[in-house]
Amino acid sequence: MENQTKQQLNRENSGLNTKLPIKIVQFGGGNFMRGFTDYIIDKLNKEAGFNAGIVNVQPTPNGSVHKLEEQDNLYTLFTRGIRKGETIDEKQVISAIQKSINPYTNYGEFLALAKEEALEFVFSNTTETGIAYDETETSYEGPHKNFPAKVTVLLHERFKHFNGAADKGLRIIPCELIENNAFALKEIIIKYAQLWNLEEGFTEWVNQNNYFHNTLVDRIVPGYPKDDAESYEDRLDYEDKMMVVSETFLLFVIQEAGNLKARIPFDKINEQILVVDDIQPYRLRKVRILNGGHTLMLAPAVLAGKETVKESVDDPFIGTFLRDSIFNEVNQTLGLDETELKDFAEEVFDRFRNPFIKHYQASIALYFVSKFKVRVLPSLLKYAERNHKLPLNLTFSLASLIRFYQGSFGEKSLPLNDEETIVNRFREIWANEDYNAVSEQALSEKSFWDTDLTQVEGLKAAVAKALYEIDHNDMETAYKNFIQFYS
């Protein structure tokens, strides 16, 4: 009954009536964008006087921007997690979005955005499949389903309206999780310009007067808390059907071009937003520490009976194993500033301990071998090459993976969720009862690792030793015996 007496969130009852000039067009108003970019812009407005309004453009015909419009484009963001050991649980109303447009029903409104005098930025998150070329979009006339086609039209309409003025180009900042996302988007825009026979001057204007910033984004935004909505609603004195839940951690790495730092005062807010010349080291850091941390602890944790990431990190044995793996082995291979790596790794541990997010190890086990190959194996090989000895934690992790693919441990079935050929090949390998034979066959299988790992000095014998210990002890004792043997 209490919820029925609450008013729906809007600008009048929230007191957030200030109108902002339209500086940003955003493609995609889903959970991630509302918990990430819109949060950042809102914070810049409130703390750094950025004074930037956002127009949210629905990227697909079946979107839900009308739900945001019903709340005057306001929504509550709950930020929950652990930061430096302290529990954070905050809420705020985000007010940066000024308007939401469905281009499939209001195409004229979408085209009119090109004429906005103050417009300077385009943000997007249309999923990894959004930045793709669709050759069936043969006509300039819209509305287009394809995201790059929409951006091409927006840029061309702006080019025409301002007669190719050099200072009316835009800064394109995509947040899709693909490498060189902005460069990929630019390449497709040029292809559409050619397909539609747009004037040569337009292509020159795109190349010379618009900036394309590659990015790396990182934040977990579960979105609307459908399983626990009532407890969140109890914390509000208004009705909000578009509330979003996010973790506290945020990382935004943007490739510098055209002095972006002077255009957005990122340094005026206390968030981990880095404008750098090369984002690749940061991508590598995320893959090896965050994603690699998940992957390297998976098999030891599951074999030790742990079900979630938080439970694993809180466990004295698995938590210490993971910390030693990252701080003493993985970080040594990355060639980045030691303090930066340490700070990032500590934040990763805070994220792993987040009591508000239940991350099951079984879900990480999907395509486990390929994940290990990309996220962990390069650290193992680089460490061995540099130090002329094996990284014992990563070696134990690799042996645990091989043991994991036997499919059961004690009386427990293990969550094998991989390609059938990989599961079947491991079944053949485990037909051997000799640990040396298992180690040799598993490590030499190029279809797993793209290389013959038996060529790494000492690895075959170390994996065999670890397999023996795992099968004859509990996991903690197996690990201690293995480390002691090689120390």
pLDDT means over runs of 10, the chain (487 residues)? 74 91 95 96 98 96 90 96 88 97 97 98 88 96 96 98 98 93 98 97 98 95 86 94 94 96 96 95 93 96 95 97 98 92 92 86 88 95 97 98 96 92 97 96 97 98 98 98 95
Same domain, 212 and 312: no
Same domain, 68 and 187: yes
| pTM attached to this predicted model | 0.82
Same domain, 219 and 298: no
Same domain, 306 and 415: yes
User: Are the C-beta atoms of 173 and 254 separated by less than 8 Å?
Assistant: yes
User: Are the C-beta atoms of 170 and 210 separated by less than 8 Å?
Assistant: yes
Q: Which of 224, 242, 276 is the last residue of a domain?
A: 276
Q: How far from 60 is each of 28, 255, 441, CA to CA, in Å?
A: 9, 28, 48
Same domain, 270 and 287: no
C-alpha–C-alpha distance, residues 344 and 57, integer Å: 33
pLDDT at residue 360, as a whole number: 86
**H-type helices in 171-279, by residue range?**
181-195, 200-209, 229-233, 260-263
C-alpha–C-alpha distance, residues 443 and 381, integer Å: 13
Rounded to the nearest 10°, the torsion over CA 373, 377, 382, 384 is: -140
* Cβ-based neighbour number of residue 54 at 10 Å: 28
Q: Which of 238, 253, 276 is the last residue of a domain?
A: 276
User: Are the C-beta atoms of 276 and 254 separated by less than 8 Å?
Assistant: yes
Same domain, 368 and 253: no
Same domain, 112 and 76: yes
> In sequence order, what are the residues at sequence separation of 6 or more whose Cβ sits closer than 8 angstroms to the Cβ of residue 161?
114, 115
Same domain, 267 and 297: no
Put the strands of the sheet holding 75-83 in their side by side order: 86-94, 75-83, 244-246
C-alpha–C-alpha distance, residues 269 and 486, integer Å: 48
Q: Which of 250, 276, 302 is the last residue of a domain?
A: 276
Pairing mode of beta strands 53-57, 97-101: parallel
CATH number at 228 reads 3.40.50.720
* Cβ-based neighbour number of residue 387 at 10 Å: 12
pLDDT at residue 4, as a whole number: 59
Tell me which DSSP letter residue 30 carries. S
Same domain, 16 and 150: yes
The first and second tokens of residue 365, run together, are 């086990």
The first and second tokens of residue 87, run together, are 């529990």
Half-sphere exposure of 224 (CA within 13 A, CB side): 9
Per-position DSSP letters for 408-421, written without gaps between them: EETTEEP--BS-HH
The number of domains in the chain is 2
3-class secondary-structure state, position 114: helix
Residue 321 belongs to what domain range?
280-486
Phi/psi at 210 (nearest 5 deg)? -120, 145
Structure-token match 């940061």, residue found: 282
C-alpha–C-alpha distance, residues 237 and 255, integer Å: 41
